Homo-oligomer: A and B are copies of this chain.
Amino acid sequence: MIRARTPSAAVPRARKGEETRAQILEAAVQQASEAGFESITIGALAQRTGLSKSGLFAHFGSRSDLQVAVLDEAARRFAETVFLPAMKAPRGLPRLRAIVGRFIGWTESAGLNGGCPILAAGIEFDDIAGPMREAVAGYQRQRGRELARAVQLAVDTGELAADTDPRQFVFELDGIALAYYHAARLVGDDQARNRALAAFERLVASYSPPLSPSAAARR
């Protein structure tokens, strides 16, 4: 749909509705981070944002549409917090390190008070067919592909062994990130970040190419 834009509109600021919609999403993402998507309720969210139930409801056609919107927003923040900045690092191991460094504890960097909403959604909906399950599975697969590409680049630069299976590497990397969340958020291990970084270094070492003179020199 093409909309003629009046040149007089100096700042095409989002029609008010989009602003409050963003505020709603902010509160909802926070809620999902703290207590899961099932805890996202119209009434509670209306109270949290100071809107009326019906006023809030009108922004999303249904609760499940709202949930999906929250997941989309969480995924957007993840990309914005973890992947986008890491792309500035040179390809190969430095970029991989940048990704991992931001991946570990990204929710705090993104201003979330609770856990990772995408992970929460995955566990909440892994047995419940529907749009949420498909959306979160899609995001996870996409993230897997992006990570695998970053790993492949590190193979290309020779920083990882030539026979590295990127998908296996990503599997083990995922494990480190998950173990971090598990240890940090649930068990309350304050060493979690150190353990995660140590695990990553061990992972990289175990995938390092056989020692060559130049590689040995680089140590």
Q: Which of A19-27, A45-53, A74-82, A134-142 contacts B (4 or more CB under 8 A)?
A: A134-142
- Total number of A residues with any Cβ neighbor in B under 8 Å: 46
Assess whether B187 is in contact with A35, with CB atoms less than 8 Å apart.
Answer: no
Assess whether B183 is in contact with A171, with CB atoms less than 8 Å apart.
Answer: yes
- Identify which of residues 92-136 in chain A touch chain B, using a CB-to-CB cut-off of 8 Å: 113-115, 119-120, 122-124, 126-128, 136
Give bound CA distance, A126 to B33, whole Å. 10
Write out the residue numbers on chain B whose beta carbons fall within 8 Å of the beta carbon of A87. Answer: none
A59 at the interface (CB under 8 A from B): no
- Indicate whether A199 sits within 8 Å of B187 (C-beta atoms), given known contacts A38-B38, A123-B119, A128-B35: no
Write out the residue numbers on chain B whose beta carbons fall within 8 Å of the beta carbon of A122. Answer: 182, 186
Write out the residue numbers on chain B whose beta carbons fall within 8 Å of the beta carbon of A174. Answer: 175, 179, 182-183
Give bound CA distance, A185 to B187, whole Å. 23
Write out the residue numbers on chain B whose beta carbons fall within 8 Å of the beta carbon of A157. Answer: none
- Identify which of residues 142-157 in chain A touch chain B, using a CB-to-CB cut-off of 8 Å: 144
Assess whether A144 is in contact with B202, with CB atoms less than 8 Å apart.
Answer: no
Write out the residue numbers on chain B whose beta carbons fall within 8 Å of the beta carbon of A168. Answer: 195, 198-199
12 contacts between A and B (CB under 8 A): A36-B36, A114-B127, A115-B127, A120-B123, A123-B186, A126-B186, A136-B186, A140-B182, A171-B196, A172-B176, A172-B202, A175-B199
- Chain A residues packing against B (C-beta within 8 Å): 33-36, 38-39, 113-115, 119-120, 122-124, 126-128, 136-137, 140-141, 144, 167-168, 171-172, 174-179, 182-183, 185-188, 192, 195-196, 198-199, 202, 205-206
